Amino acid sequence: MCGIVGYIGYRNAWEVIIKGLKRLEYRGYDSAGIALMNEKLHVYKRAGKVSDLETYAGQVATNSSLGMGHTRWATHGAPNDRNAHPHASSDQKLAIVHNGIIENYASIKAMLIQKGQYFVSDTDTEVLIKLIEQIQLEENSSLQEAVRLALTQVSGAFALVIASQDDSDLLIAARRGSPMVIGIGEGEYFIASDASPMIEYTKHVYYPEDNELIFLHRNEIEIRNLTNVVLSPYIQELELELEALEKGGYDHFMLKEIYEQPHSIANCMRGRIDHERKKINLGGISEYAAKLLTAKRIIIVSCGTSWHAGLVGEYLIEEYARIPVEVEYASEFRYRHPIINQDDIVIAISQSGETADTIAAIELAKRAGATILGICNVVGSSIPRLSHTGMYTHAGPEIGVASTKAFTAQVTALSLLALYLAQQQERLPLSKITSLLTALETAPALITTCFQSNALIQHIAGEIKDSTNCLFLGRGINFPVALEGALKLKEISYIHAEGYPAAEMKHGPIALIDEQMPVIVIATKDSSYDKIISNIQEVKARKGKIIAIITEGDTVIRAIADYIIEIPPCEEALTPILATIPLQLLAYHIAVMRGCNVDQPRNLAKSVTVE
């Protein structure tokens, strides 16, 4: 969840690290710090934003060419100056930045206190650097060996960087269960939690595996595992472009990413639809076609917005491929002794590919012998590497914490998968497959049409922005859209919102409805249309304020609702993609009107890499 940036080379380390930390702000954080080598190690840290750190540290040590920085999302200890990273050894000669959680820190800390170590923070990270210091003292070992020995004693997750005042030509990095990328330049190396801080300097990167130690000198990289075996790095080339990390004239990344959805959905489909043969090509997934087609069950594991996409996938796969699907919160799945069989397919969905609970669920399923299919956006991340096969969504970098284009790309990928399975089974006639594929390919153009309602949506946002509660209703395949709409509103505007199946309203939520309660209903012309009209009438009878997402040209609901937002007519399977667009814009405009930090909502992180 936190962000790490490390640099060793010939550039001004302060400039590289500060710029890198700003690129990682989207991950969510509450304090920031930097350590720079300039004859001695100098540590500067502050609660607050990276800009607060800049103001505090000023133009210090600008000639340093080695350093590391950190943005912290508090786990152990309150978000304050004392608990901010980097943390130092007792003799102030070592400094560390760390993402993840050291689970056995308390017992190690008690042992170190008995040996005379003292602690100035409440963090598990300070325990780790002082364990390394203690091992150096007792074993008279090199720093490299002390780090290796220390990491064999700790349990939990980490991505860390260590610098030593005694060696101005060395940065040490290590990883277990938390994301890390090593950038490789000419006479310089970069370390970061993702590739965004290094893209303007190099496109050559290495993704460390778990339990690897990386020793970086200005002209050399050495990689070992925790058993001290020397490893060779597999260098990859980034496809990421610097322009994708900029706002491009938009006020917020979230708004930019909403408007990128025609492009991101087209990218997700590119190369996967064979028009001439009217077939779907899913690359490496075809190698596992037999397992997919004979699966007795598909289990989808994910969190947050990706879980909502999984619910849409459940409707699509069961409708078209007739394979039973269960959709599980990864955070619950891993703790309840789930029944997993060797002929099960587990689909793991994650934008970042680093979601800790989803990774743990994958590992659990793999141990049980299931086949893992990953659906992920970030190339080279952990989930694709842990999966047997899978699909990249190719949505491009998503900087706004509230997921937008990642959701619609995930739904697109799941649509392609459902139709691929149906086609392989010869379950649907070719005419139906062709019709659905054609509909899917029209999605980018139809989304562009949806943007024409932006001014109307902005007006509606102004009418309900002061609400304290909001209800979202949908039926069938649009029930997950209601959940996603509610999530978008609550996470960026801080208005309490809930999504429900419309038919469940009578089983409790209807008690909340009065003239102060906005009720947003996905009410497109589909198989549940008549039922959703009845649900709207029930809300209307109780003076609820109805905002309806309707199919263009619908006059029946227009006559009932207080506000209507039209989307173009489309295949029912496509409505989750189109209906999501106005809900994203509505949440965005409400948040802006309420003065909220749209791209970095309070308490949230883009990539949840700790439990």
Backbone phi, then psi, for 426, in 5-degree steps? 55, 40
Split at pLDDT 50, 70, 90, the class of 554 is very high
As a whole number, the mean pLDDT across the chain is: 91
- Going by C-alpha positions, the residue among 505, 444, 476, 439 that lies closest to residue 311 is 476
Position 609 scores a pLDDT of: 54
Does position 278 have pLDDT exceeding 90, yes or no? no
Whether 146 has a pLDDT exceeding 80, the answer reads: yes
The pLDDT value given to residue 62? 64
Residue 195: the pLDDT is: 87
Check residue 513 and give its pLDDT. Answer: 83
Instruction: Assess whether 149 and 208 both reside in one domain.
Output: yes
Q: What is the pLDDT of residue 346?
A: 97
**Number of domains into which the chain is organized:** 3
Residues 500 and 421 in one domain: no
pLDDT for the residue 58: 72
**pLDDT-wise least confident of 349-353, 453-457, 529-533:** 529-533
405 is catalytic: no
3-class DSSP state of 164: strand
* CATH label of the domain that carries residue 211: 3.60.20.10
Last residue of a domain, one of 215, 244, 273: 244
Only one residue has tokens 């017992």, namely 107
The pair of three-digit structure tokens given for residue 491, joined into one six-digit string: 């996470």
Domain-embedded: residue 332: yes
In the chain, the amino acid numbered 77 is G
Q: pLDDT tens, 202-232?
A: 999 999 989 999 999 998 999 999 999 999 8
Share of the chain above pLDDT 70, in %: 97
Residue of 2, 268, 450, 596 with catalytic role: 2
Q: 6 - beta bridge partners?
A: 68, 191
pLDDT at 26 over 90: no
Backbone angles phi, psi at 352, to 5 degrees: -80, -30
Rounded Cα distance between 302 and 53, Å, is 35
Q: How far apart are the first and last CA of the chain?
A: 10
pLDDT for 381 equals 85
Do 136 and 189 share a domain, yes or no?
yes
* CATH assignment of the domain containing 317: 3.40.50.10490
My answer on whether 362 and 507 are in the same domain is no
Let me know if residue 463 belongs to a domain. yes
Q: What is the mean pLDDT of residues 373-381?
A: 90
Looking at the structure, tell me whether residues 463 and 530 fall in a common domain: yes
Residue 174 above 60 pLDDT?
A: yes
What does the block give as tokens for 320? Answer: 């078209």
Side-chain half-sphere of 285: how many Cα atoms within 13 Å? 24
Are residue 464 and residue 342 in the same domain, yes or no? no
Say yes or no: 495 and 587 in one domain: yes
The single residue of 49, 109, 405, 606 carrying the catalytic annotation is: 606
Asked if residue 240 and residue 258 are part of one domain, the reply reads: no
Q: Is residue 551 part of a domain?
A: yes
Residue 610 lies in a domain: no
State whether 516 and 416 are in the same domain. Answer: no
Question: For 575-595, what is the mean pLDDT?
Answer: 97
| Distance, CA of 581 to CA of 212 (rounded, Å) | 42
What's residue 418's pLDDT?
Answer: 95
Half-sphere exposure in the Cβ direction for 90 (13 Å, CA): 16
Q: Tell me, what's the pLDDT at 246?
A: 72
Please indicate, yes or no, whether residues 385 and 259 belong to a single structural domain of this protein: yes
C-beta separation of 66 from 15 below 8 A: no
Whether 230 contacts 224, CB under 8 Å? yes
Among residues 244, 275, 298, the one where a domain terminates is 244
Residue 437 lies in a domain: no
| Tens of pLDDT, residues 382-407 | 899 899 999 999 998 888 889 999 99
Q: What percent of the chain has pLDDT over 90?
A: 67
Q: Three-state SS for 380?
A: coil
CB atoms within 10 A of CB 293: 13
- What backbone torsions phi and psi does residue 568 show, to the nearest 5 degrees? -65, 155
| Same domain, residue pair 353 and 459 | no
Q: What are the tens digits of pLDDT across the range 300-333?
A: 999 999 999 999 999 999 999 999 999 999 999 9
- Chain centroid offset of residue 476 CA: 26
Which helix (H) or strand (E) segment is 337 a member of? none
pLDDT for 244 beyond 80: no
**pLDDT score recorded for residue 245:** 66
Mean pLDDT of 151-158: 92
* Residue 511, domain member (yes or no): yes
Report which of 469, 514, 516 is spatially closest to residue 494, judged by C-alpha positions: 469
The reply to whether 611 falls in a domain is no
Longest dimension (CA), the chain: 82
Tell me what pLDDT residue 544 has.
Answer: 84
pLDDT of residue 77: 80
Considering the entire predicted model, what is its pTM? 0.82
Structural domain includes residue 249: no
Residue-range definition of the domain harbouring residue 457: 451-597
- Domain's final residue, options 244, 262, 288: 244
Among 15-29, 161-175, 284-298, name the most confident range. Answer: 161-175
606 part of the active site: yes
Residues 195 and 303 in one domain: no
pLDDT band at 258; cut points 50, 70, 90: very high
